[in-house]
A and B are shown apart, each in its own frame.
Chain A
Amino acid sequence: MTIEHIKIPLLLNQLEESITQAMEQRQVIDPIVIGIHTGGVWIAEKIHKWLKVKEPLGLLDISFYRDDFSQIGVHPKVKQSKLPLTVEGRDIILIDDVFYTGRTIRAALNEIFDYGRPRQVILGVLIERDGRQVPIRPDCIGAKMNLAAGQRVKLTGPEPLDIDFQSVA
């Protein structure tokens, strides 16, 4: 997909379709939806509504689980994670906006597993870009793209949701 073709509703439709297939294949029962702060929560809110999940949306801020603490330190404004009462034995649909290196998802999984052992986790992201650094990848995506060196993609929102491309010198 090229940058010109990026349209949020289209990506959301693709992601929902992909999640439907994954849920069927993996026989997901009564899932919990969890979004990763900040952009992941915006997308997860839509997925949560679309799936008509009764349990409140789970919120995850992985700042205290990051592996680059020694480089960037503690961000002074970390948001509170709010997970459902129990994740033990549950099916989880974990949502983020952009999948890049995979380190955010590693941190998110570590945090979730601190709360209990889910039966399975399905990872859905709006955009999967190139640059994976650890053996983790999404199960469901809205779109996949390769970016030029130094290019960054970021979801802006919450209303309206949009995609912002930046070049980092």
Chain B
Amino acid sequence: MLANKNLQLNSLGKLQHFLSIEGLQKSLLTEILDTAESFADMSEQQVKKFPLLRGKTIVNLFFENSTRTRATFELAATRLSADILSMNIATSATSKGESLLDTIRNLEAMQVDMFVVRHSLSGAAHFIAENAAPRISVINAGDGQHEHPTQAMLDMFTIRRVKQSFSGLRIAIVGDILHSRVARSQIHALNILGAEEVRVIAPKTLLPAQVESLGVSVYHDLTVGLKNVDVIIMLRLQKERMNSALLPSESEYFKCFGLSDDKLKIANKDAMVMHPGPINRGVEISSSVADGPQSVILQQVTNGIAVRMAVMSMAMQCNMRTE
């Protein structure tokens, strides 16, 4: 079982750690989106760097590879004037047998202020937040199959920028729901923010048991599931997480669940197409759709910086106030 959800909030109900979307209030998610909006505007300025976190040290603790997420966290921290240390865990002490807690204790002794954690095990970020010094904030940058809250928030930010509001929106999440921490966070966020309907579209082998309990409608046929949809979120096939043959072949998968121009026409005319990346062209999505006018995939990458700046500054401010 994962740690207490309220671990994320301080006594004033402010964000101290950002570990999961589940259990957060709409007002807090909206505050993150509003703050990110300010940072997004700032990124269009000549000078994109602000002194908010000057003198603070942020450690990127990536136990799993992720070039894009790590880069956007680094850039976000740099734009907030924080110092950032990116730990290459593959060559660090944990690979020499040091325990995770000892690694954390050593970094604490270096007087760092925030951990950004990516780990292959669900609950790793919660574990660190529970055990780290109270002055340190922890941001979950993806833990196992549990959650990837900043990715979900940048997706929410992208949707809100295009569609203005979540009310009345029908959103389809297509693909490998079973292995996707992003999908789990997206479903929570969309339900909290008041989307009309969240659909998951996938073969039965790529859906978690009792997925309906997350508050979604389930479809196994893409041509049925895309009807009247405003937002299509395609997911990457996480082959590295599949420990058995869950699919007949990639070409068969694309035929049934890949987003092509023809399939896209089934959705609403102004439906937006998203993908958290990296995309497998011709497996989950065709190049013509990925690069087409309805795609916002690169905007998602840009928005990731603003959202991570917002989350980092909110969490850090919370810790400064309670010092």
Tell me how far the C-beta of B102 lies from the nearest C-beta in chain A, rounded to whole angstroms: 30
Chain B interface residue bracket vs A? 20 to 34
Query: Are B42 and A78 neighbours in the complex by a CB distance under 8 Å?
Result: yes
Instruction: Tell me the residues in window 112-151 of chain A with beta carbons closer than 8 Å to chain B beta carbons.
Output: 114-115
Stretch of A3-11, A24-32, A62-70 on the interface side? A62-70
Given known A-B contacts A80-B41, A80-B44, A65 and B34 have beta carbons under 8 A apart:
no
B244: Cβ under 8 A from any A Cβ:
no
Stretch of B49-57, B138-146, B206-214, B232-240 on the interface side? B49-57
B261: Cβ under 8 A from any A Cβ:
no
Given known A-B contacts A70-B317, A71-B321, A114-B49, A64 and B42 have beta carbons under 8 A apart:
yes
Closest to B33 in A: A76
Partner of B47, one of A76, A78, A115: A115
Binary CB contact string for chain A from 75 to 91 against chain B (1 if under 8 A, 0 otherwise) = 11111111100000000
Partner of A69, one of B34, B38, B41, B317: B317
Closest to A115 in B: B47
Query: Are B49 and A74 neighbours in the complex by a CB distance under 8 Å?
Result: no
Closest to B309 in A: A74
Tell me how far the C-beta of B42 lies from the nearest C-beta in chain A, rounded to whole angstroms: 7
Given known A-B contacts A65-B51, A83-B46, A76 and B317 have beta carbons under 8 A apart:
no
Partner of A81, one of B45, B313, B314: B45
Closest to A76 in B: B34
B223: Cβ under 8 A from any A Cβ:
no
Partner of B50, one of A65, A77, A115: A65
Residues on A with C-beta less than 8 A from B47 are 114-115
With the chains together, A80 CA to B45 CA distance in Å?
8
Residues on B with C-beta less than 8 A from A74 are 35, 38, 52, 310, 313-314, 317
B133: Cβ under 8 A from any A Cβ:
no
Query: Are B320 and A70 neighbours in the complex by a CB distance under 8 Å?
Result: yes
Tell me how far the C-beta of A127 lies from the nearest C-beta in chain B, rounded to whole angstroms: 28
Closest to A66 in B: B52
A13: Cβ under 8 A from any B Cβ:
no
Tell me how far the C-beta of A70 lies from the nearest C-beta in chain B, rounded to whole angstroms: 4
Residues on A with C-beta less than 8 A from B318 are 73
Tell me how far the C-beta of B34 lies from the nearest C-beta in chain A, rounded to whole angstroms: 4
Instruction: Tell me the residues in window 50-82 of chain B with beta carbons closer than 8 Å to chain A beta carbons.
Output: 50-52
Closest to A86 in B: B46
Residues on B with C-beta less than 8 A from A77 are 34, 37-38
Tell me how far the C-beta of B109 lies from the nearest C-beta in chain A, rounded to whole angstroms: 23
Instruction: Tell me the residues in window 268-323 of chain B with beta carbons closer than 8 Å to chain A beta carbons.
Output: 310, 313-314, 317-318, 320-321, 323
With the chains together, A73 CA to B37 CA distance in Å?
15
B196: Cβ under 8 A from any A Cβ:
no
With the chains together, A81 CA to B320 CA distance in Å?
26
B252: Cβ under 8 A from any A Cβ:
no
B31: Cβ under 8 A from any A Cβ:
yes
With the chains together, A6 CA to B42 CA distance in Å?
37
Tell me how far the C-beta of A61 lies from the nearest C-beta in chain B, rounded to whole angstroms: 9
Query: Are B51 and A115 neighbours in the complex by a CB distance under 8 Å?
Result: no
Tell me how far the C-beta of B123 lies from the nearest C-beta in chain A, rounded to whole angstroms: 29
Binary CB contact string for chain B from 21 to 40 against chain A (1 if under 8 A, 0 otherwise) = 00000000001001101100
Closest to B49 in A: A114
Closest to B313 in A: A74
Tell me how far the C-beta of A88 lies from the nearest C-beta in chain B, rounded to whole angstroms: 12
Residues on A with C-beta less than 8 A from B317 are 69-70, 73-74
A156: Cβ under 8 A from any B Cβ:
no
With the chains together, A79 CA to B38 CA distance in Å?
7
Given known A-B contacts A70-B320, A70-B321, A78-B38, A64 and B52 have beta carbons under 8 A apart:
yes
Residues on A with C-beta less than 8 A from B52 are 64, 69, 74
Residues on A with C-beta less than 8 A from B46 are 83, 115
- Chain B residues proximal to chain A, CB less than 8 Å: 14, 31, 34-35, 37-38, 41-42, 44-47, 49-52, 310, 313-314, 317-318, 320-321, 323
Some 20 contacts from A to B, beta carbons below 8 A apart, are: A64-B51, A64-B52, A70-B317, A70-B323, A71-B321, A73-B14, A73-B313, A73-B314, A73-B321, A74-B52, A74-B310, A75-B38, A76-B31, A76-B34, A76-B35, A79-B38, A81-B45, A82-B45, A114-B49, A115-B47
- Chain A residues proximal to chain B, CB less than 8 Å: 63-65, 69-71, 73-83, 110, 114-115
5 extra interface residue pairs, beta carbon distance < 8 Å, beyond A76-B38, A80-B45, A115-B47: A64-B51, A64-B52, A73-B318, A75-B38, A78-B42
